[in-house]
Chains A and B, each alone.
Chain A
Amino acid sequence: MLRDQTHIHIPEFALVVLIGASSSGKSSFGRKHFKPTEIVSSDACRGMVSDDENSLTASDDAFDLARFITAKRLKKGLLTVIDATNVQPEARKDWVQLAREYHVLPVAIVLNMPENVCEQRNALRTDRNLGKHVIPNQVSQLKRNLKKLKLEGFRHIFEFRSPEQADAVQGIIRDRLYNNKQEEQGPFDLIGDVHGCYDELVSLLQTLEYENTDDVWQHPAGRKAVFVGDLVDRGPKTPAVLQLVMNMVKAGTAFCVPGNHDIKLLKWLNGKNVQLTHGLEESITQLMEHPAAFREEIKIFLDGLISHYVFDGGKLVVAHAGLREEMQGRGSARVREFCLYGETTGETDEFGLPVRYNWASEYKGSAMVVYGHTPVPEAQWLNRTIDIDTGCVFGGKLTALRYPEKELVSVPALHTYSKPVRPLLPPVVHTTSLQQEFDDVLDISQFLAKQIVTTNYGHNITIRQEHAIAALEVMSRFAINPKWLIYLPPTMSPAETSKLEAYLEYPAEAFDHFRKAGVTQVVCEEKHMGSRAIVVVGKNEAAITKAFGITNEGIGTVYTRTGRAYFTDKTLEQAFLQRINEALERAGFYEQFETDWVCLDTELMPWSAKAQSLLETQYGLVGAAAIHALHATVNSLEHTVASIPEAGVLLEKYTTRQQQVAQYIKAYQQYCWPVNSLDDYKLAPFHILATAGKTWTDKDHAWHMEAIRQLCAADPAFLLATPYKVVDVQDPQQVQEATDWWLRLTESGGEGMVVKPFQFIHRNGKGLTQPAIKIRGREYLRIIYGPEYTFPEHLRRLKERGLSGKRSLALREFVLGLEGLQRFVNKEPLQRVHECVFGVLALESEPVDPRL
């Protein structure tokens, strides 16, 4: 090799195969130029599977292991170096195949050393004892096939014929892949298949506010156009379109990826024999009117087009026919094929055209994929992908997608220039979007295994498989249509156990908690004793269909914290929702929030309406058993005391027990009343979770309370505005007032209060703060800890309770809840929303003391 090889260039993402006889210096070369973790060594693998790096019998297993490790690395997009002799073509073939499987470029670095150099080095080694014939054999095998490396599939080949040559290499420069444009952050205007429709293109560029200066269209704010390919064929002005795009690309105001038509034209320009069908003939006729130099310019331009681009830090991928996640940012013949033609099922339809495989329906990648190729009546999102070929040349329209705004801009076709073989379906009036229809049934695969949910709140939440198993069963057997389930509320931790003798919970600890967490202001809200209910209600059914993609299920729903329908009676549910809807209308809520639906976090009373069976089978029963047993016992003891005074101690004890049971019965009775009509329900909303396109978790709790108070004023007999206090935790007087308030509330039968940081989401240096802490009343807790829990010897033991598990759970569920809502209002695929909701349900199967 005569070129300067002091610095050699390889692609940043490559499978580097070192080739050379034993002792030719492969390992030293590898160590010098690559990170230790990048090198997969056959010797090391042999050692790992057999305890002997030289064991030849272990070679097959060692190769399997090396291949496995390499595959995992390539899957992750990591450059990998194979350190093995690789002197036989069969050995190299496996690596080339693996590289192809992962769409990586194979690179060969050959250490073609003279035999005596290897022999001398080998003689110095004490760790290896090779037979005499081994090195000569390897050297001759190497030389024999060296010329065929290119044929074997290696795209970059470097050869060193002496130790001096190899040592002269000072650095290996890793070149960026051509498709890597991650530093280009936009903003972009992505333009669909033009097919020679020059007039429409100009009109579209004008609509997008591009200006034509010296034959180069550019945007005054520096936006760049990105053409998704198929500039040519079928339309009337292919040369003009090509000229326009070439000028823009040359001037750096546009990018362009090739379409299948563009490549077919290139083949013709290159003199290949191609069929003049599908509009190519028009292009050729038009181009023949131009000088040959122009055609030459086009040839060079088309030849230089890169199959696809990855923009904006990996967030945007553009390819003519779209691109699967595992192919993005990679290079191989298959990647290029996919970019140009997409994927087909192998079948043909009634028009003789290949049936396209809908890769987008399975797309789960995080990058947005923008593509064209298949004409559709309307550009619609599906799983973060969008086809923007709206069939301009067939009389549809030319569409651009503004990025990052995600706005669609179109200009109608001036004529129908070509008739499609397969008729373009007329735009149907869809009530639900493509994504919503696709979301009718979610895919199970991700919910069967351990999941890690990435959130925007600084926490990634892990869902263990055993909990996913439990959640899948609950979700499948009891939950409502997952399209409704955009949020499940987090569990709530109580305050730290009170230091006061007579109390298990007391406000002081909640204030302390938040003070320590760096919260200066808190909101204390009265805690209603009912059932937690999430209410989704729309102005009408059409609003629900548009936002949720649900048809024929009414104007909303009410569901519990485990995703079950609150009402079993559908008619009652809809009447209930209609009543809320009317209040929303009267309060002017829809106008004020610029929405036609809302999701509210609420408490729905009475408790007895939902917990009837619990009351009948548990709370009421225990009361009945206790009150009668104790009555008889106290009677009997009263008789006994007359003759046996020492029974007085027992009488006193059982009389106290009797009183406590009476208090317990009184406690649960307060939360029960019969429900005969809608008027008997009371709904107390406390968070406005989301409306069209927006979550409201950036607003503080006083804002929520006030907005809700206005809403409740519209139907005060039915909607309950929650009393609350804003408290400065540094101000002892305010703290005292809030404590007194709690005492008054709970002594008159209230459940207690919830203390929240003033901000919906509060963070300190350590992370998120508990979103809410409950302090339950002394009497209410009889329902939780048993009628007689206030006996000092009982209370003493009950105070030994740990909260850390509950607190951690509350935070994780809170984060998942926020994330799910945000994803929903961002119109992400349901799978992504469901992931969060499913996660909350799964976390709920973690074992935590249910009394907390």
Chain B
Amino acid sequence: MLLTITTTHPPASDLSYLLHKHPGKVQQVEISGGIAHVFYPEVSAEKCTIALLLDIDPIGLVRRNNGPAGNEFALEQYVNDRPYVSSSFMSAAIVKAFSTAMNGRCKEKPELVNVAMPFEISLDVLPVRGGEKVLQELFVPLGYSIESTRHIIDPAFPSWGESRYFSVKLRNTLTVQQLLSHLYILIPVCDNDKHYWVGRNEIEKLLEKGQAWLPQHPARELITVRYLKHQKSLANEALEILLKDESTVLEEEAPLTTERKIRVHDLRLQTVLEELQQTGAKRVADLGCGEGKLLRLLLGAKQFEFVLGMDVSYHALEIAKDRLKLDRLPANQQQRIQLIHGSLTYRDKRLEGFDAAVLVEVIEHLDPPRLAALEKTVFRFAKPRIVIITTPNAEYNIKFPDYEAGQFRHNDHRFEWTRQEFAAWGDQVAAEHAYTVIYKPVGEEDPETGALTQMAIFTRN
């Protein structure tokens, strides 16, 4: 909400020339979503402070219906932090209020433009995703010293813990143009959000304001990715231009864990596919098909004459339809596949008559009391000859670097079972519905914990 910039570079009052704002007045600039006030709390030869104060219209934010989308509650909810924080709105105010200084011009005293001066900046309040560590990573390499106070959510309820809001003081000696370009880019990077849609022209802004310092910045990937609102293609494009000859682009750090995850999931699907092929099944149903990764593999294998994909999420099915390019398949291929919206807790005639059904990482998304319904739907009513079920092996969790006891791998998991728990469930289901079951690890088996994923293969007696 409030940014102040203070200098003691004598005569300090020259700051008003540099920033091209009259020291004796309160001035306004218009920004989208409201206005910003510019005024001087203090002007003397020894010390001069200029303040940029946001005046965002909270009702207007909602009415325009294009509030800060990335914020977790902004669009749906109407009680909103945007009017009170320093975010991309502040960047918009900086560029509007101090455009001449940002462009490195000063009509009255052009000699000041290239003078490095001592500055003290205060921001009230700055939301920082990632806390002090990120703050340090962003500002220290640029020569700032940081003094920050993290605010707790509510002193009346200490157990609610700390907020992501900081009151921040930064000190550095540099030119005003450098200072403003840092703030312009790094404020929304701290917030990790933007109040407007981010497109290709955002790359230009980043390059223009960051050209001088971003390529050397050790956190350039983080800055680029966050600034471009995590749009991978935009970020890669920007980094390519930024780094030019340096060929070590994005791959190094951030994507490593996701890469690994991708490999694990592909492996899981490959395993299920091979199992299915061995059963000789011709008509198969992928129950909980999600966005259709396994369906694609199944379509690729001629053995499967008909493939059904079912998911409870209509949205996921639309993505699957898109990814599989169902509309563009030739007619004979189109007849091999069908996507249906459905649920494993309801009996469904459409699931009858299949040779095999697979549930890849599905059961753990159901509350344990609802499993009884799933068992009946699959094993009593649909009763395919083969049922393959995979689920996480909870024992393996201790091998994750950021493992915390009681933590599940995904926040929608309702349970994660040890191998013994899975087998107890599987044995009971098999006994009740006249199936025979065997268990297999999926992935490399650790002698202590077993494999990452466990699989049960049920065959109807």
Instruction: Mark A residues whose CB is within 8 Å of B.
Output: 440-445, 447-448, 469-470, 472-473, 475-477, 480-481, 553, 565, 608, 615-626, 628-633, 636-637, 639-640, 643-644, 646-647, 650, 654, 665, 669, 672, 674, 783-789, 794, 797-798, 850-851
Q: In the complex, what residues of B have CB within 8 A of residue A618's CB? A: 73, 77, 79
- Shortest distance between the CB of B352 and any CB in chain A (Å): 12
In the assembled complex, 25 residue pairs joining A and B whose CB atoms fall closer than 8 Å, in A order, are: A441-B381, A443-B349, A447-B346, A475-B345, A476-B345, A621-B164, A623-B153, A624-B151, A624-B152, A624-B163, A625-B81, A629-B2, A629-B124, A632-B2, A632-B122, A632-B125, A636-B51, A643-B24, A643-B43, A647-B39, A650-B37, A650-B39, A786-B59, A794-B58, A797-B59
Known: A473-B314, A481-B370. A784 touches B78 (CB 8 A): yes
Q: Is there a chain A Cβ closer than 8 Å to B385's Cβ?
A: no
- Tell me which of B1, B42, B127, B314 has the highest count of chain A C-beta atoms within 10 A of its own C-beta: B1
- Tell me which of A447, A625, A632, A647 has the highest count of chain B C-beta atoms within 10 A of its own C-beta: A625
Known: A639-B41, A786-B58, A786-B79. A626 touches B341 (CB 8 A): no
Q: Which of the segments B139-147, B371-379, B423-431 contacts the partner chain?
A: B371-379
Contact of B312 among A473, A640, A646 (CB under 8 A): A473
Chain A residue with Cβ nearest B124 = A632
CA distance A441 to B372 in the complex (A): 9
CA distance A276 to B151 in the complex (A): 93
Q: Which of the segments B154-162, B235-243, B253-261, B323-331 contacts the partner chain?
A: B154-162
Closest 5 CB pairs of A and B: A632-B124, A444-B346, A476-B343, A629-B1, A639-B41
CA distance A40 to B412 in the complex (A): 56
CA distance A442 to B79 in the complex (A): 40
17 new A-B contacts at CB < 8 Å, known A633-B1, A637-B53: A441-B377, A442-B347, A444-B348, A448-B342, A473-B313, A476-B345, A619-B79, A621-B165, A623-B153, A625-B85, A625-B165, A629-B84, A640-B40, A654-B53, A788-B58, A794-B58, A797-B59
> Is B80 within 8 A of A786, CB to CB?
yes
> Is B167 within 8 A of A632, CB to CB?
yes
> Is B343 within 8 A of A620, CB to CB?
no
> Is B73 within 8 A of A617, CB to CB?
yes
Q: Is there a chain A Cβ closer than 8 Å to B365's Cβ?
A: yes
> Is B85 within 8 A of A629, CB to CB?
yes
B286-330 vs A: 1/0 string, CB under 8 Å?
000000000000000000000000001110000000000000000
CA distance A630 to B376 in the complex (A): 58
CA distance A787 to B82 in the complex (A): 12
> Is A665 within 8 A of B80, CB to CB?
no
> Is B77 within 8 A of A441, CB to CB?
no
Q: In the complex, what residues of B have CB within 8 A of residue A783's CB? A: 79
CA distance A29 to B314 in the complex (A): 54
> Is A621 within 8 A of B81, CB to CB?
yes
Q: In the complex, what residues of B have CB within 8 A of residue A620's CB? A: 153-154, 157, 160, 163
> Is B26 within 8 A of A440, CB to CB?
no
Q: In the complex, what residues of B have CB within 8 A of residue A850's CB? A: 76-78
Describe B's contact surface by its main secondary structure. Answer: mixed
Known: A448-B342, A476-B346, A674-B159. A630 touches B59 (CB 8 A): no
> Is B165 within 8 A of A624, CB to CB?
yes
Q: In the complex, what residues of A have CB within 8 A of residue B127's CB? A: 625
Known: A469-B314, A469-B341, A624-B165. A633 touches B78 (CB 8 A): no
CA distance A639 to B122 in the complex (A): 15
Contact of B81 among A442, A608, A622, A644 (CB under 8 A): A622
Q: In the complex, what residues of B have CB within 8 A of residue A623's CB? A: 153-154
> Is B312 within 8 A of A477, CB to CB?
yes
Contact of A628 among B63, B73, B125, B159 (CB under 8 A): B125
Q: In the complex, what residues of B have CB within 8 A of residue A644's CB? A: 24-26, 39-40
- Shortest distance between the CB of B38 and any CB in chain A (Å): 11
- Shortest distance between the CB of A673 and any CB in chain B (Å): 9
- Shortest distance between the CB of B22 and any CB in chain A (Å): 10
Instruction: Mark B residues whose CB is within 8 Å of A.
Output: 1-2, 4, 24-26, 37, 39-43, 51, 53, 58-59, 63, 72-73, 76-81, 83-85, 122, 124-125, 127, 151-154, 156-157, 159-161, 163-165, 167, 312-314, 341-349, 365-367, 369-370, 372-373, 376-377, 380-381, 412
> Is A480 within 8 A of B367, CB to CB?
yes
- Shortest distance between the CB of A441 and any CB in chain B (Å): 4
> Is B78 within 8 A of A626, CB to CB?
no
Q: In the complex, what residues of B have CB within 8 A of residue A647's CB? A: 26, 39
Q: In the complex, what residues of A have CB within 8 A of residue B58's CB? A: 786, 788, 794
Q: In the complex, what residues of B have CB within 8 A of residue A447's CB? A: 346
- Shortest distance between the CB of A787 and any CB in chain B (Å): 7
Chain B residue with Cβ nearest A440 = B376
> Is A621 within 8 A of B153, CB to CB?
yes
> Is B367 within 8 A of A616, CB to CB?
no
CA distance A643 to B73 in the complex (A): 40
Chain A residue with Cβ nearest B167 = A628
- Shortest distance between the CB of A558 and any CB in chain B (Å): 14
Q: In the complex, what residues of B have CB within 8 A of residue A621's CB? A: 81, 153, 163-165
> Is B122 within 8 A of A448, CB to CB?
no
Chain A residue with Cβ nearest B44 = A643
Q: In the complex, what residues of B have CB within 8 A of residue A794's CB? A: 58-59
Q: In the complex, what residues of A have CB within 8 A of residue B41's CB? A: 636-637, 639-640
CA distance A631 to B149 in the complex (A): 14
Chain A residue with Cβ nearest B63 = A797
- Shortest distance between the CB of A577 and any CB in chain B (Å): 15
Chain B residue with Cβ nearest A795 = B59
Known: A621-B163, A643-B40. A441 touches B347 (CB 8 A): yes
CA distance A414 to B252 in the complex (A): 88
> Is A443 within 8 A of B167, CB to CB?
no
- Shortest distance between the CB of B307 and any CB in chain A (Å): 20
CA distance A783 to B39 in the complex (A): 32
- Shortest distance between the CB of B25 and any CB in chain A (Å): 7
> Is B40 within 8 A of A636, CB to CB?
no
> Is A444 within 8 A of B160, CB to CB?
no
Q: In the complex, what residues of A have CB within 8 A of residue B81's CB? A: 621-622, 625-626
CA distance A650 to B51 in the complex (A): 13
CA distance A631 to B167 in the complex (A): 11
Q: In the complex, what residues of B have CB within 8 A of residue A636's CB? A: 2, 4, 41, 51, 53
Q: In the complex, what residues of A have CB within 8 A of residue B159's CB? A: 674
Contact of A616 among B2, B85, B153, B349 (CB under 8 A): B153
Q: In the complex, what residues of B have CB within 8 A of residue A654's CB? A: 53
Q: In the complex, what residues of A have CB within 8 A of residue B412's CB? A: 477
Q: In the complex, what residues of B have CB within 8 A of residue A646's CB? A: 25-26
- Shortest distance between the CB of A214 and any CB in chain B (Å): 54
> Is B59 within 8 A of A628, CB to CB?
no
Q: In the complex, what residues of B have CB within 8 A of residue A672's CB? A: 156-157
Known: A442-B347, A629-B1, A786-B59. A622 touches B84 (CB 8 A): yes
- Tell me which of A444, A646, A669, A851 has the highest count of chain B C-beta atoms within 10 A of its own C-beta: A444
Chain A residue with Cβ nearest B74 = A618
Q: In the complex, what residues of A have CB within 8 A of residue B367's CB? A: 480, 565
Chain B residue with Cβ nearest A632 = B124
> Is A630 within 8 A of B84, CB to CB?
yes
Known: A643-B40, A674-B159. A477 touches B79 (CB 8 A): no
Q: In the complex, what residues of A have CB within 8 A of residue B43's CB? A: 643
> Is B154 within 8 A of A665, CB to CB?
yes
CA distance A650 to B53 in the complex (A): 10
Q: In the complex, what residues of B have CB within 8 A of residue A469's CB? A: 314, 341
Q: In the complex, what residues of B have CB within 8 A of residue A626's CB? A: 81, 83-84
Known: A447-B346, A625-B84, A644-B26. A616 touches B365 (CB 8 A): no
- Tell me which of B40, B76, B79, B366 has the highest count of chain A C-beta atoms within 10 A of its own C-beta: B79
Known: A622-B79, A646-B25. A445 touches B349 (CB 8 A): yes
Q: In the complex, what residues of B have CB within 8 A of residue A786's CB? A: 58-59, 78-80
- Shortest distance between the CB of B339 and any CB in chain A (Å): 13
Q: In the complex, what residues of A have CB within 8 A of residue B161's CB? A: 616
Contact of B341 among A472, A629, A632 (CB under 8 A): A472
CA distance A629 to B43 in the complex (A): 22
